[in-house]
Amino acid sequence: MAIAVKKTVPISEGGDVLSTSLSTAEGARLTTEKPRPSIAVRQPLLSEILTKVHKAKLYDDKLRILKEEDCLALRQICQWSFNPNIESELPPGNPPYIENDAPEGTEHTLLRTEGNGLWHFIKTNGKSADPNLQQTVRERMFIRLLEGLHKDEAKLLCLVKEKKLHRDKEGGYKGLSAKVVKDAFGWDEDFQEYK
């Protein structure tokens, strides 16, 4: 029969240190358990992620940032911007939209969550991804999307539409390239995932 040895372990609660008695086994369990994952309060805008990539000096740092922040919308904008088989089905130039002046984190949508509708605006290998959508409806949808997004993400999406995401002179993100996104997301020369 094992006898539990009691040991006093300080526990912090609300800034106060409380004392409680725990058996040695319970104390050992607390120190070997994996910490609970923290709750992500705010996810960065895609424009913030690409700004980090732009500022990163080392190639490995650029890859690490993209891998850590990997999400479907980020992959989609990289595909649209770099994959030569994907073209915009929108007129060239900046669309006539009104910038959303709401401060970050308030009254705007996120490209991260709106990214699942980007397929409406592209064609692949010359074929429309949404051939049943009238062009005027497509253009209005894009303008509404831009007006709902944070102004930095709307600018980013306009760069993506023009395939100028990596062109610094256009206001883009110079540290980004086809090679960087291929390596970060495990894409081959055709922008497909390795099998």
Q: What is the mean pLDDT of each run of 10 residues along the chain (195 residues)?
A: 46 42 52 59 87 94 95 93 94 92 76 90 92 95 94 94 85 87 93 78
Instruction: For residue 19, list its beta bridge partners.
Output: 10
Residue 133 lies in a domain: yes
Residue 9 lies in a domain: no
Whose CA is closest to 73, among 90, 50, 39? 50
Residue type, 58: L
pLDDT of the residue at 193: 85
Residue 122 lies in a domain: yes
User: How many domains does one find in the chain?
Assistant: 1
pLDDT of the residue at 142: 96
Residue 33 lies in a domain: no
Structural domain containing residue 67: 46-185
Residue 15 lies in a domain: no
Residue 35 lies in a domain: no
Angle at 145 between CA 52 and CA 178, to 5 degrees: 40
pLDDT of the residue at 25: 58
Give the span between the Cα atoms of 179 and 163, in whole angstroms: 15
pLDDT of the residue at 16: 42
Whose CA is closest to 104, among 143, 71, 151? 151
Number of Cβ atoms within 10 Å of the Cβ of 159? 21
Q: Take residue 28 and report the two structure tokens written for it.
A: 């050992």
Q: Do 116 and 168 touch, CB atoms closer than 8 A? A: no
Residue 41 lies in a domain: no
pLDDT of the residue at 14: 44
Question: What pTM value is reported for the model?
Answer: 0.74
Residue 29 lies in a domain: no
pLDDT of the residue at 171: 76
